[in-house]
Structures are given as C-alpha cells and as structure tokens.
Amino acid sequence: MANKILMPKLSPTMEEGQISRWLKKEGDSIEANETIAEVDTDKATMEMTSLEAGTLLKIVVPAGGNARLGQTIGVIGKPGEEFSSLLADEAVTEKKTKEVPEQKKEEPKLYVPPVAAPAQRTVAPTATPAPTKAPSNGRLIVSPIAARMAAEHRIDINSIAGSGPGGRIIKRDIESAMNGGGSKSALFSYTPSTVYGASAYREEATTKMRQVIASRLSESIGPIPTFYLTTAIEMDNVLDLRAKINSELKDGEKISVNDIIVKVVSHALMRHPFVNASYRDTAIRFYEDADIGVAVAVEDGLITPVIRSANKKGFVDISREIKSLASKARERKLQPEEYTGATFSISNLGMFGITEFTAIINPPEAAILAVGSSTPTPVVKDGVMTVRNIMKVTLSCDHRVIDGATGAKFLQTFKNMMEQPVLMFM
C-alpha cells in the first residue's frame, strides 16, 4: 500500500524544513533507512532517510520548497500503485488550513551571524535550476541555511539570484557561488579545509580530595563577598637576606623565598588582627597566633598543610616544617590536624613563572595571599632608571571581615617588612 513521506523533525527547534535536494527521482527504488533527500533546517543541512523500502512514486514538494513538520513531501509504494486518494486527502487538509483566518504577523528579521562554525560538508549540486528574478521591492528572500552559509564563506549575498520559489536564495545558490558562480567579499576568500567532528573524550571518577576541593571552593566564591588588592614589592633585600642565611647553614640545608614570606606574613597578621580572623555569622573570631596554610600541589589536586604559630618560629624552623609537611602531603600521609584549621593561607605560583594571579579564599579564613614570581624589572629610583627584582602579590579579602582600608594597611605592612626585613623585629 502506498504511504505518505512526511517532513520529519530533524532538529529540536525545527518547525519547517526546506528541501535542499532530492537524492532520488520519481520511479527510483528505495531501501529502508536509505537517505532520500537533504533538508535545510534552522540549524543545519540534515539527511532525511526513508522509514520503509519501496519506490518513490511522487515528489510532492520539489527541491527548494518548504514543508511544515508532518506535511506530505512525497509518496512511496509499489511500482505503478495508485496513490491519488492520498494526495486528495492532503489537498482537503490543506484547504481547511487555509480557510482558518490568520492574524497578520510581522515578518521576522533574519539574523546572520558574523562568524559561524564551518559547514559540516560541502555538497556539489547535481543541477541548478534557472535563477528566478528577485522581487522588485528590493527585499532579499533568503533561507536561514543559505544566509548562514553565506556568512561562513564570505559570499556577497546581494550578487546572487535566487533559484528558489519567488526568487528565494537557497542552499544550492550559495554552493554555486562557492564553486565560482557568485562574487565573494574582496577581503576574504574561501578555501576548502579539513572538517573535524567533535573531540573524543574520556572520563575519570573524581577523587575524594577533588570532591572536597570543589565543595569547599564552591562555598567560597559564591556567598563570600570578595575583593582583591594588589601591590608590587622590591625583593632585592629579601634575596640578600636569604643568601646570608643560607651561607650560614650546614649540611646543604637551604631556606626559600617562600619560607621568608610565611614568616613575614605571620608578623603582619599580628599587627592586623582583622586579617587573621574569620566570619562566624553572629561573631568575628580573632586568632591569637598565625596558623598559616601553605598550598601544596599534589597528584590529585591541592592541599594546604598548616604551619602552626608561624609568628613564634624562625626562618629555619618554618623551612623544615614546610618541607616535612609537603613531603607527607605528596605521600598522602597528612593527618587532618596538619591540613585543617588555618587562620590565613598563602598560594605561591612564582616557581611556575606566574607573575600575578588571584586566589580563592579557603573558608572560614578571611583572606589568602597569591604570590607571583620575582622578576628583574626596570624602575625609577630618585629620578634614575635602575633594575630591581619585583614581585607582585594579590590579597583576596572577605569583605564581611576585612574592609578595603584594613586590607590595604596589611599589604602595606607586609610590603614594608619584605623590603626592609629588620622591621619585623621592631
């Protein structure tokens, strides 16, 4: 028995389609699931396949024609089979539809994106009907897919005569222009290129550590009103201090610039208690000592071992403790009390060549210091150009605890102590 070929829904937002071209002609045999036509939707040119095997008895909507979802576009059946009754039913339905009065709607404005993704494929047209003269009112009629293709390939759409109904510019007209039948913008040229599909991917289950990191940082960046303060610090005196200390150490032991930063931060925190505090809804908790978290990169993410009472320890003690805790962190041997309960954190990416960045506060702490690399930089000193080692740091502040001036004063104290380490002991 003959059956209708209906316009299928080929994209989630499709309401109608335009037959770009039929791949079969009347009288051709068709296999089930064989592609029989190409349809321009609102998103792309899609292949339409037959749901059954048979013979294409009739093409109802020709190439270039539009059809609503579910509208008959062809007839399939046995060779020589009678199908006029099917089309008679279609004509009655179409008449009833036209008799329903419709309110006049404003014609939607066509949106042509300035840049779009490359076309999935380029199809050479089997035949191009003679162009139809465009409407005399000067308004171009362009199918959505044709407009998108013209934008993608920098085709001057005003130079193209449409071959669709009423002079409508359709996909095959753009394809013809791409093959030399129309003019392109003088600023661009179309060069066929390799077309790639979506990237392959793999998934790995998140570790418990990564889940905790995600949970904790999600608590921070959303509900915490955060602001950022950045300053530049001359590091020459710190580098000299480090060299002098290391020259006195034995057995190859060395302290790092980061060890000195931890010590200086601890002293600055003692002078600015609001930075060494946390917000507790109905109270602000002030800490008597500086328990400083030092961010350490490990295989599964990031963990922050805590240097307890850093304000009461010397450079060498801090250095040894950081090395010990970092080693335990990488071996996954840290105990909870060794990585929880910090009052302030430091994240140093200077060793990776990062000059400046912002870090996310680790709740319930009120601040974190992001440390960049120390880089030789030309500066003006007393009207003379000279080179100094400059390091940029950025303080992320919880505004519920730290006001702008408070954060600025903390950074000022930290900067002064870094540039003149003797101030730590005054």
**Residue 162, in any domain of the structure:** no
Identify whether residues 95 and 215 lie together within a single domain: no
**Residue 226, in any domain of the structure:** yes
Res. 224: pLDDT tops 70: yes
Q: What is the mean pLDDT of residues 139-164?
A: 73
Identify the pLDDT of residue 291: 95
The answer to whether residue 399 is catalytic is: yes
Catalytic residue among 153, 267, 272, 399: 399
Q: Structure pTM?
A: 0.53
CA distances (Å), origin 185, targets 144, 157, 189: 20, 10, 7
Alpha carbons 167 and 160: distance in angstroms, whole number: 10
Q: What is the mean pLDDT of residues 114-141?
A: 44
**Residue 8, in any domain of the structure:** yes
> Between 332 and 403, whose confidence is greater?
403
**Residue 381, in any domain of the structure:** yes
How many angstroms separate the first and last alpha carbons of the chain?
101
- Specify the range with the lowest mean pLDDT, choosing from 63-72, 183-192, 372-381: 183-192
> Between 152 and 223, whose confidence is greater?
223
> Between 113 and 91, whose confidence is greater?
91
**Residue 131, in any domain of the structure:** no
Res. 111: pLDDT tops 60: no
Q: Which two tokens stand for residue 212?
A: 């905790």
Query: Among 411, 292, 267, 396, which Cα is nearest to 346's?
Result: 292
Q: What is the mean pLDDT of residues 340-361?
A: 94
Identify whether residues 230 and 377 lie together within a single domain: yes
Whole-number average pLDDT of the chain: 80
12-71: pLDDT as tens digits: 667 888 888 899 999 999 998 899 998 887 556 778 899 899 999 999 999 988 899 899
Reported confidence tier of residue 200, pLDDT bands at 50, 70, 90: low
**Residue 133, in any domain of the structure:** no
91 in helix, strand or coil? helix
Identify the pLDDT of residue 342: 93
**Residue 144, in any domain of the structure:** no
- Which of the listed residues 69, 99, 129 is the one where a domain comes to its end? 99
- Which of the listed residues 61, 82, 99 is the one where a domain comes to its end? 99
- State which residues form the domain around 73: 3-99
Q: Which two tokens stand for residue 383?
A: 């009207």
CA distances (Å), origin 149, targets 140, 170, 238, 369: 15, 10, 61, 50
Reported confidence tier of residue 139, pLDDT bands at 50, 70, 90: low
Reported confidence tier of residue 346, pLDDT bands at 50, 70, 90: very high
Identify the pLDDT of residue 88: 80
Query: Among 410, 342, 407, which Cα is nearest to 418's?
Result: 410
Identify whether residues 217 and 356 lie together within a single domain: yes
CATH code assigned at 38: 2.40.50.100
**Residue 164, in any domain of the structure:** no
- Specify the range with the lowest mean pLDDT, choosing from 162-166, 167-171, 188-192: 188-192
Identify the pLDDT of residue 146: 75
Q: What is the mean pLDDT of residues 139-165?
A: 72
Helix H or strand E encompassing 27: none
> Between 218 and 130, whose confidence is greater?
218
Q: What is the mean pLDDT of residues 136-150?
A: 65
- Specify the range with the lowest mean pLDDT, choosing from 177-191, 310-324, 369-383, 386-400: 177-191
CATH code assigned at 292: 3.30.559.10
Identify the pLDDT of residue 105: 40
- Specify the range with the lowest mean pLDDT, choosing from 127-136, 221-230, 288-297, 352-361: 127-136
Alpha carbons 162 and 133: distance in angstroms, whole number: 7
- Which of the listed residues 99, 128, 143 is the one where a domain comes to its end? 99
293-342: pLDDT as tens digits: 999 988 767 889 999 999 999 999 999 999 999 998 888 788 888 888 99
Identify whether residues 251 and 375 lie together within a single domain: yes
Number of domains in the chain: 2
Identify the pLDDT of residue 277: 92
